[in-house]
Amino acid sequence: MTTFLRRSFADLNGFDGGDHLAAFDAFRASAARLLAGAFPTGSLGLRSEAFHAAAQAALDVGELSDVAAARRFFETHFVPLAIVPEKGTGFLTGYYEPVVEASDTPDDRFRFPLYGRPDDLVAIDEVSRPPGFDPEFRFGRRLGCGMIGEYFDRAAIEAGALEGRDLEIAWLEAKVEAFFIHVQGSARLVMRDGRQVRVGYAGKTGHPFTAIGRSLVEAGELTLAEADMAGIKAWFARNPARVDEVLDRNRSFIFFAEIPVEDPALGPVGAAKVPLTPLASIAVDRQLATYGIPYFISSDSLSIGGEPFRRTMIAQDTGSAILGPARADIFVGTGDAAGAIAGTIRHQAEFFVLVPRDLAGELTQ
């Protein structure tokens, strides 16, 4: 059971001196969808309707350019609750939007496709789940007889299970690069004619996510310190004959959709259906958390920009590996520099959820 402990903003180390403008912009970006009831309440009980007044206030205020005004907004509308998970401590990872070269058509250089969502992929809920079907599977395959079965896994798809269905969005130069786009859930593709095309998550096979870095550590092939994104890519470069074997350990496979690049300063559209804001948007456990609401996250061991990490952030995305009430994936930004930071984030942290006063009373009784 998760425990919430009431705190004051004065208790939050680094809150007074933080730059809350990006978080305010991200909260305001989600405000209309919060008010429209687009975000179901997760099992932690962070009721989305309790945040309606703050969402409306953010829309009424409009854009802010003053750091102090952004801080006062959060202090006025919320109180912080420390999240104390039943087991373990809070934990952070990072993700980003890769920028890679791609082609509309395959050739000897560009051979590895990103696929759009197949028409026989169906979402599964508690009502539609077939008897005996693994409860962890949230997607399945509509069979010719009308029943639902498991979808093809990564190995089957890589072996050609989807060939001939015209699902390819673009082709990439390296299979490992395509795999890491699956892990990140989005990418910005630079096409041969100079166009930029964004691809974002559109569904997955339903098979559980397996962290290949962890599997290499458990096999003694990498140390824990080496198992970040750069270390894993370096291992693949040293062991090209084992790429398929290791990648296939992660049976999960992601499908994509093309999305216009409307504002290059913002990231891809997250699960909350708003563009992600670098270092202000986080992915959370969708079953527990509620989209659109603010958190303050503090980590003494994580440093970004030369300072210990203390930031207000908004829940706007999710991910297969993001499990638990004090668990988040930080959206760092777009491109190689963001990727270099994101790939190293594996840090313990303290989590505080910012909630309206009435809800704070309910959660801390």
| Confidence at residue 88, expressed as pLDDT on a 0 to 100 scale | 83
| Confidence at residue 129, expressed as pLDDT on a 0 to 100 scale | 85
Report whether CATH 2.60.40.10 matches the domain 3-95+267-363. Answer: no
| Confidence at residue 50, expressed as pLDDT on a 0 to 100 scale | 97
**Are 3-95+267-363 and 98-259 equal in CATH topology?**
no
| Confidence at residue 47, expressed as pLDDT on a 0 to 100 scale | 96
The SS3 call for residue 109 is: coil
Measured CA angle at 79 (ends 78, 83), to 5 deg: 120
Sheet strands side by side (includes 148-149): 121-123, 139-142, 148-149
Percent of the chain topping pLDDT 70 = 100
What is the Cα–Cα distance from 69 to 292, expressed in whole angstroms? Answer: 20
Q: Which CATH number fits domain 98-259: 2.40.240.50, 1.10.3720.10, 2.40.110.10, 3.90.1310.10?
A: 2.40.240.50
- Give per-residue pLDDT as tens, 307-345: 899 999 999 999 878 999 999 999 999 999 999 999 899
Q: Which parts of the chain have pLDDT scores under 70? A: none
| Extents of the domains making up the chain | 3-95+267-363, 98-259
What is the Cα–Cα distance from 269 to 316, expressed in whole angstroms? Answer: 9
Structure tokens at 94: 């990072």
Structure tokens at 58: 């953010």
Say what the pTM is: 0.85
| Confidence at residue 87, expressed as pLDDT on a 0 to 100 scale | 84
What is the Cα–Cα distance from 331 to 276, expressed in whole angstroms? Answer: 7
| Confidence at residue 325, expressed as pLDDT on a 0 to 100 scale | 95
What is the Cα–Cα distance from 204 to 138, expressed in whole angstroms? Answer: 9
DSSP, residue by residue, 54-83: HHHHHHHH-----HHHHHHHHHHH-EEEEE
The SS3 call for residue 30 is: helix
Burial code (b: 16+ CB inside 10 Å, e: under 16) for 221-243 equals ebeeeebbbebbbebbeeeeeeb
